[in-house]
Every structure is written in C-alpha cells, then in structure tokens.
Amino acid sequence: MDYRQQYELWLNGTGFDKGTRDELRSISGNEKEIEDRFYRDLEFGTGGMRGLIGAGTNRMNRYTVRKASQGLANYVIRQGMAAKGVAIAFDPRNQSPEFAEETALVMAGNGIRAFLFESLRPTPELSFAVRHLGCAAGVVITASHNPKEYNGYKVYRQDGCQLPLKESDEVISEVNAVTDLSTIPVMNRKQALDEDLLAIVGPEVDDAYMAALKKVLVNPEMVREEGKTGRIVYTPLHGTGNLLVRRILREIGFEQVLIVPEQELPDAAFSTVKSPNPEERAAFTLAIALAEKEDVDVILGTDPDADRIGVVVRNSAGDYVTLTGNQTGCLLLEYILSQKQARGTLPANAFAVKTIVTTELSRKIAARYGVELIEVLTGFKFIGEQIRELDDTGLKQYQFGYEESYGYLAGTHARDKDAVVSAMLIAEMYLHFRKLGKTLNDVLQDIYGQYGHTIEAIDSFTLRGKEGLESIDRAMESLRDGAPQAFGMHAVAACRDYQGQVSVNYVTGSVNGLLLPQSNVLYYEMLSGDWFCIRPSGTEPKIKVYYGVSGKTEEDATKALSDLRTGVLEVIKPLLAMD
C-alpha cells in the first residue's frame, strides 16, 4: 500500500476518530506533507520510537502508540511473562498522559496488568519501578529534550534496562507484524480497573525510589552538616524533575534550594525556552539571572523526563560557565573514586563505564584509582548491560557510568541515566569542595592540570524527511567506500567501523575485529592522538560528528579542535550536500 492509499484509508476508514480525519483533511492539498506522514511507519528502533505528534503512520498518535503497545504485549505473552505486568510512566508533553493510558489499556486488553503512574514521573523512576514491582517490561512516554512538537515511546526490559539488541529485534518484529490497527484490543478504563488489570501507581514507589537514592551518597554525614548552608539554584525546565529532585535534596539535608519560578510547573509548550535541553546554555537564562541575584555558585537543570542534567558553575572571575557533559562526568568520576578510596570503600574489583564518544580523560582518572574502565557503544542501555553482566553476577562492582550527552548513573537502583541521583551527587560534591574552599570550576581546572587539558565538541546536522535520511545513508556509504586516510592536514592512524565490526590500522596495515555489537558508527583515530566519530541518530534524521582533542594548555587544545573540525567538515559537509 503506497502513501496515498494509506492516507485515504486513515481519512475515510471507520476505525479513526473525527479529530484525526479532520487533521488529515486540512492537508488534502499538500502532497509533500501527505507523503511525509504516510511514506513509512514511524520506525520502532532499538530504544522504541520518537517522532512528531500528528495524524499518520509516520507520526506519534494514539494509533501508532497502540500498534507499538500491541507488539510489546505480544512479545511479553510469548515470553511467558504476562502475569508480571508492565509499568508505564509519562512526562509533561502534549498527549503524554493520553498515550500512556492508551498503552495501559492495550496491555489490559491483552490480559496483562498495567501499572500506570498517577501523574508525570522521571524516566529513571520508571526504570526503578520495573525492578521494584517485578514487571516484565516498562514503557515511558517521552521525547526527552526534543522540541515541543515531538513525543516518544521508550521500552524497558524486566531488569529496568532499555532493550538490548537481541530483545529489541524481537520486539521490533512483533510491532512490525501488527498490520491491522482495527484488531488491537483496547479495554475500557473502568473495566480494566474493575478487573484489576489497571493499577494506579502512587507515592509508595516514590518513597522506595528516594530510599534507594540515599544509599548512593558517598558522605551522608558531611551532607547533613554542610547542607544547612549550601545554596543551589535548580530548574526542572517545566518537566518531571521538580518534585523528586527537590525532595531528595531536602531529605539529605539541603535547606536552601532555590527554584526558578517561571520553569517550576509542567508546561507542554516549554514556553520559557526555545528548547528544554540542559545541554544548551540558553535553557539556563532565567536560572543564571536568579543565581546572580541570590549570589549562588551552582545551578542544576534537568530535562523534561529528568534523565539528563546540565550544570552551570561560577568561576573565579564571577562569571557563570556551563559545564559540558564530559566535564560534569569527569568531576563526578573523580569525586566518587577519590572519596571512596579515602574512606576505604573502593572495592578492588571496581569498574566504571563510558561510551565510545565520551572523553578519554575519564580513562586517565579511572587508571589513577586502579579502576577498570569499560567502553561501550553510544546508548545508556549498553552501560546497563555491563551492570547486569558484571555487577549482578558478582564478578565486579559498578561505581559509575556516563555518556557525553549529559547522562549519568551511580548506583544500581535503575539501569538508565538518572538526573535525580546525579543532582544529589553533584550537590554533595559541591558541598565537599566548598568545605575545602574550592568551587567546582576550581576542581575542574585541577583535573586538567593533573591529567592534561581535553576538549570535546559535537556538530549535529538535521536533514528533514525522507530525503534527509537518504542523504545520511549515502554519506556513511561514501565514507566507507572511500576510506579517507586524511581529513584536511590530519592523517588518520586507524578507523573503526562498528557496522562492519572491523578496525583498520593505516600505520601498521593490520586489520582486527571489533567485539562491540554492530552499529552504524565510524570512529577515526588521528596520528596526533586526537579523534573524531560520526554516527547517525537512531530515532530521527540527524547525524552527529563527535570530536576529542587534548593539549598541554587550554589554548593548545582549542587550536587543535579548530584545526581538526575544519578538516573533518571539509569532507563531511559535501557528502551531506550541505554548503
């Protein structure tokens, strides 16, 4: 069935509501828009699906949510785990509560008990809840820090980790096998409640989650004492972090957490920011103004589903500087390992985890404390897999894991990045160094002084629609076929192709296999010791280029980054048909 036939089916079919049909009528003369909405099904990838909200097979709506839920229900049933149930949470985005309820009622229609949170909750609490409630799977309705026009559907396995590759492939097959939307059983809410196939989750899981987070504190006694005078500005960016981040900080001893009032309450339009993304300094404009007014050194901000956190700190000149995800991760890694070593609680079989595009500085920090650093593909599920394979089995003890995109996890209570526990630990770290007369920016400079100055950067290119996806695919094919051995004046020492699972060393001529799972990623190591990596997004028509350089000083590293970036983009942009 081509896109036009799909459009006519949705426009005139009896199984679609009036609002959907009215929306589709409004685009009747826009052939390009019709094609974009119906040329494919919204892709259910390794982590679930994410897309623009609207009518059509290539959009997030109640019908595509039902299809995804039916596929997941079929998988749960085939695994013999229907009796365990499925936990479901949602963020403050448009249609999030409705999509969460659709998910729950499809589960109920399949005889699977749905544990639906009563109101919005952070994504990491959903990961925790799956484990705490003993569920077969979990779903959270969120588009993370994407713009307001988006929503998404993320799936978790029974250990609270996003689906690993083998299981995600099985779920994807089940979702793709659902071709007739009219056959999906959707139970009435009252009936689901009456038959105990819908359970509303309330404060009891919040309480258990809070208790689990407190166990991750490195020095709770110090926090209780110093927290009385410690002052932090916090913004939830209109998202799910508001209540629980404030609660955990209050319960561990902070008495002066200042909330950005304009961004305190849920707002699906994210009306005070261009994008609710704590990776961007613009998201902190109001928070910085409040910190300046109140003379506060540290600002925390969580994204709408509270799995990522951004940090702004005051430097010695009195200016507020935003920390990168790599900088915050290195600060936390150094703090956790150094303090555990000082307290005698760092185990001999300790390990930490980073992704392949995360700073190499973390490798130096881990080595100093005798901690094994494991490298995984981009995506927090791969960090969760390492916890399951090593910590759960008793082989090694997990200390910390992070990725450059502002996601961190300490503790094993959840198996996804957790901005709530991260806020708690960043606040603890701030108190510790304040007691020593240092700011977090001072500590970061100390780290650079000890290990060398590193800088990382990202270039992200979004190419819209079907043509954008095709351009990205062609660019990756061209890089593989052409096998460039230089980018500008920068010679390539080695290239790792994670899709072909092979590493080619251009200096020695050796070719070796890669042990990490297959993924559409190219990683280039330069003769200079610097690196860059290119990978398409798995959820949207976007391609990212990651860079990592080092130097004796910040000036050296900044120049190295500029030179490498120029050489790389001279090759990459023409492949993407960009000026």
Q: Does domain 453-575 have CATH number 3.30.310.50?
A: yes
Tell me the C-alpha distance between 272 and 3, whole Å: 37
Place of tokens 């936990």: 87
Give the strand pairing for 320-322 and 453-462.
unpaired
The mean pLDDT of 514-539, rounded to a whole number, is 91
pLDDT over 70 at 470, yes or no = yes
The pLDDT value recorded for residue 139 is 98
Produce one character per residue of 432-469: b if its CB has 16 or more CB atoms within 10 Å, e if not: bbbeeeebbbebbbebbeebbbbbbbbbebebeebebb
Going by pLDDT thresholds of 50, 70 and 90, the confidence category of residue 469 is confident
Give the residue numbers annotated as catalytic, written as ranges: 144
The fold for domain 42-208 equals: Alpha-D-Glucose-1,6-Bisphosphate; Chain A, domain 3 (3.40.120)
% of the chain surpassing 90 pLDDT: 93
User: What phi and psi values does residue 100 have, to the nearest 5 degrees?
Assistant: -65, -40
The pLDDT value recorded for residue 573 is 94
Tell me the C-alpha distance between 479 and 498, whole Å: 13
Instruction: Answer for the pair 20, 28: CB distance below 8 angstroms, yes or no.
Output: no
Residues of CATH 3.40.120.10 domain(s) within the chain? Answer: 42-208, 224-451
pLDDT over 70 at 198, yes or no = yes
Tell me the C-alpha distance between 138 and 131, whole Å: 9
Exposed, middle or buried: residue 77 (CB in 10 Å: 0-12, 13-18, 19+)?
A: middle
User: What phi and psi values does residue 212 have, to the nearest 5 degrees?
Assistant: -70, -40
In the chain the first and final C-alpha atoms are separated, in Å, by 37
pLDDT over 90 at 245, yes or no = yes
Going by pLDDT thresholds of 50, 70 and 90, the confidence category of residue 234 is very high
DSSP letters for 249-303: HHHHT--EEEE-GGGSS--TT-TT-SS--TTSGGGGHHHHHHHHHHT-SEEEEE-
The pLDDT value recorded for residue 579 is 58
pTM above 0.75, yes or no: yes
pLDDT tens profile 101-132: 999 999 999 999 999 999 999 999 999 999 99
Tell me the C-alpha distance between 211 and 213, whole Å: 6
Q: Does domain 224-451 have CATH number 3.40.120.10?
A: yes
> Beta partners for 154?
48, 140
The mean pLDDT of 463-483, rounded to a whole number, is 89
The pLDDT value recorded for residue 538 is 64
> What dihedral do alpha carbons 31, 37, 41, 47 form, nearest 10°?
150
pLDDT tens profile 396-437: 999 999 999 999 999 999 999 999 999 999 999 999 999 999
Going by pLDDT thresholds of 50, 70 and 90, the confidence category of residue 539 is low
- Minimal CA–CA distance to 278: which of 255, 321, 308? 308
The pLDDT value recorded for residue 227 is 96
Tell me the C-alpha distance between 526 and 487, whole Å: 9
The mean pLDDT of 446-461, rounded to a whole number, is 94
3 Rama sector, left if φ>0, alpha if ψ -120 to 50, beta otherwise = alpha
pLDDT over 70 at 296, yes or no = yes
pLDDT tens profile 302-346: 999 999 999 999 999 999 999 999 999 999 999 999 999 999 999
pLDDT tens profile 343-383: 999 999 999 999 999 999 999 999 999 999 999 999 999 99
pLDDT tens profile 209-223: 999 999 999 999 999
* Tally of CB atoms within 10 A around 578: 12
Q: What's the chain's average pLDDT?
A: 95
Residues of CATH 3.30.310.50 domain(s) within the chain? Answer: 453-575
The pLDDT value recorded for residue 45 is 77
